[in-house]
Structure 1
């Protein structure tokens, strides 16, 4: 039977100023302390992660080439800024702004040059790389499929960059897109049923209600339903994969209500206040209908991932957020968000699972909004979604079937593969 609208409990996002979330009882982060080694005499400001992101953006613009990245020290609640070389003026300005300072050897330009070398010489299926400001290096990861001559080629490329510029590590899993989903959405293709996750509700540029999800889901099917056997309720407006991994899907019913909440299971929801930039070291939360609510830490920005394509080639996606939050097939497109209600990313793919852990990558929400012309439309809060708190909630607890959907097998990926 065809449904006319996604129910109000759907994972969502809307306009509004950033306010305190007030749902800490269901989001209890297990934050990892960052290594800082800050060599400054001043006392850095105590900051929330969102405020640290804003300070980092301002300092990056003010310090120019001397700025070599930053990260959030969640244990000390401070922003740590890397200053390349011995620019005393840049060090002083960063300290006066309230940041802790580290003087490092690799500039942002040098790190980007290393990433370009990797793109040219080591675009191999099953590899990824991202700058880690905590080590001031490019961290290169190879999944379990990178063996033999490809592994030797990757090792040689990383060695050529130098031990002070790049490090190489192995992942036990396989990099793959996680299609199969906060709340599940479904589509029918020639290869079977595809299942993904709704990310955040937005307003399309023409004022229509819409939602963001993963691009590899959007390119696999034009129409999507809110139940496995239901009729279509939304149609893909734009989808990009590879290159980026984002899609804008508009609701077929223009009266669809899109509350600014993320459904985290057990009748609980978290209010989302707007888009937020990711900050390395910050605690983030991911919701998916396969694995429920999990938290972890942002470990890298501007990450490049080389997924294995259907034809044996490479589907390269750039500009991603790298985290240690687990995910599994079925979580693609789902929301990555902060405890204070910021919409950070859309689940793309990664390796591992929620038993062993692994790396997971996310399309930044800010990039998705810019690419699609969508926005957090005024009035989406009018649906009246409420926040609910739990005295016994646990972050990282598996909550299959979140939002009333039954957990089930991973159907196809966003491109018709099965995992």
Structure 2
């Protein structure tokens, strides 16, 4: 919506019909019907109960518009399920994909990178395809580009966009009013502090709690519940077969394409970035003084001496996991590490995962950490997610493919 001199028009009645309650009130949060920040205070639990709620958080009015509540936006009104979908981070793009809307995404962070990574998993889902190549790379979105994309929803956390240089509360409100609502939550990734302007309205959600709310935005609650059942069964399988704590190997996750700068990631941090490791209750080899994102040297990695090394991003087709293994074996320091000596260096996918990657990564990591309980993980060198014999699969691929495709 641009006028002739390049400025932006005030919203019209047509805009209200198109974008629903996003145009109510003044101020970014004042436009949220009822001023609610969601339903009950959410938790980041990894138990099956996270996926089960008795009280829906969306409501439908007589004119068939409906509202969905999530912090930090509050309650957002939609006139109809969005069609054109802007995303910024891949946990939300992955939610659209899980709901059968992956090809309606028009923007995301590093689209070509994540298209290649996600498509390491889609070959194991019969009939499911995905193409994110060439989309707008939205890590630092411009306001003008958001007008151009004319999305029906911005699956992005307005607090995280506000934290970017060049974005103000007025800018966020302008996009919400003139284009479409914001709906996202980023700082649940590690339970990090949001900008102070947003602190009193912020809450943290688990990956699947957030997925439930996104499903409500698209009126796809049945699809969410079907996938949540798959996850619940998978978590029950994991919980009932975990070895005693004393028998679990110490483990680390690292980014180590260059041994001169090894990025360390804890496996038990709060937040949805560990949604595929925390349920497995691993023993961290790093001391509590090492925080996720810290860099460590080879001596520190040897001091931790993990039994298992998980190589973040090792499944991406642009990453040579073989070279990473060889680099660790050839280095005079790291070759002494137990995980290196015993060939327990495993490829991982992504931490900003949506629901479908979460299912695969729960299965993958369970096998990598506890092969005696969950079956061996095949030695991975390249290509898509390995074929797992049907009797050793921890979740039903065909069921998931049917849900994503809408044939369930």
Larger Rg: 2
User: Structure 1 or 2: larger strand share?
Assistant: 1
Asked whether the two chains share a fold, i.e. TM above 0.5, the reply is no
TM range (shorter): under 0.3
Select the structure with the greater relative contact order (CA < 8 A; seq sep ≥ 6).
1
